[in-house]
Amino acid sequence: MKKIEKKMQDFFTSEKKNDASLFERITQLCDGLTYMSETDAPITAFAGTQASDVNAAVLADVAGISRDVPVEEITLARFFDRLTTIQDWFGEREKENAKKFSELKTLLEEDLRDLKVFRFGSVQIDIIVAGTDQNGNVAGIRTFAVET
């Protein structure tokens, strides 16, 4: 799994930042955010190559994920709902994180077209939220979850 994670890191942090201001805005909103599962993983921004369509096969190929890995597409709402909903027990830090996740979701919805969420794997899961920017370049966020 580390090999796949390294390939994805190389792709998603490459010099392909075609819309630098969008990439920078996403990066700023991701700063300090983590996706909580059985492990806590950072939320990171990425900017990639041009694509005519955002789909699991395109992201798997570019990120070096085997097409044999199970993939599930989920809704943007399903991904963000638990991250943006403020609970009664939240302290100030949790409330601030929920607010940042809401801002991140809004930014992605406003600046990316064909926005989709893919989960690659079954226990160790790479999660990619991707769409295309105004120039047709794939961009978004990625994180990692462990679910047993």
**Alpha helices in 16-89, H assignment, sequence order:** 20-30, 56-63, 76-84
Pick the residue with more confidence: 6 or 28?
28
The two tokens of residue 101 are 């996740």
- Please tell me the predicted confidence (pLDDT) of residue 58: 86
- Please tell me the predicted confidence (pLDDT) of residue 60: 86
Say if CB 116 and CB 131 are below 8 A apart. Answer: yes
Q: Is the pLDDT of residue 55 over 60?
A: yes
Report residue 17: phi and psi, to 5°: -80, 80
DSSP-derived pairing of the beta strands 44-50 and 71-74: unpaired
User: At which residue do the structure tokens 């978004």 appear?
Assistant: 140
Q: What is the CATH number of the domain that holds 79?
A: 3.40.1460.10
| DSSP state, residue 108 | H
Q: Give the integer Cα–Cα distance in Å for 20 and 45.
A: 11
Q: Is the pLDDT of residue 143 over 50?
A: yes
Number of domains in the chain: 1
Say if CB 54 and CB 138 are below 8 A apart. Answer: yes
The whole-chain average pLDDT of the chain stands at 87
Say if CB 119 and CB 125 are below 8 A apart. Answer: yes
Q: Is the pLDDT of residue 42 over 50?
A: yes
Residue 76: give the domain boundaries.
2-146
Q: Is the pLDDT of residue 147 over 50?
A: yes
Tens of pLDDT, residue by residue over 72-105, are 999 999 999 999 999 999 999 999 999 999 999 9
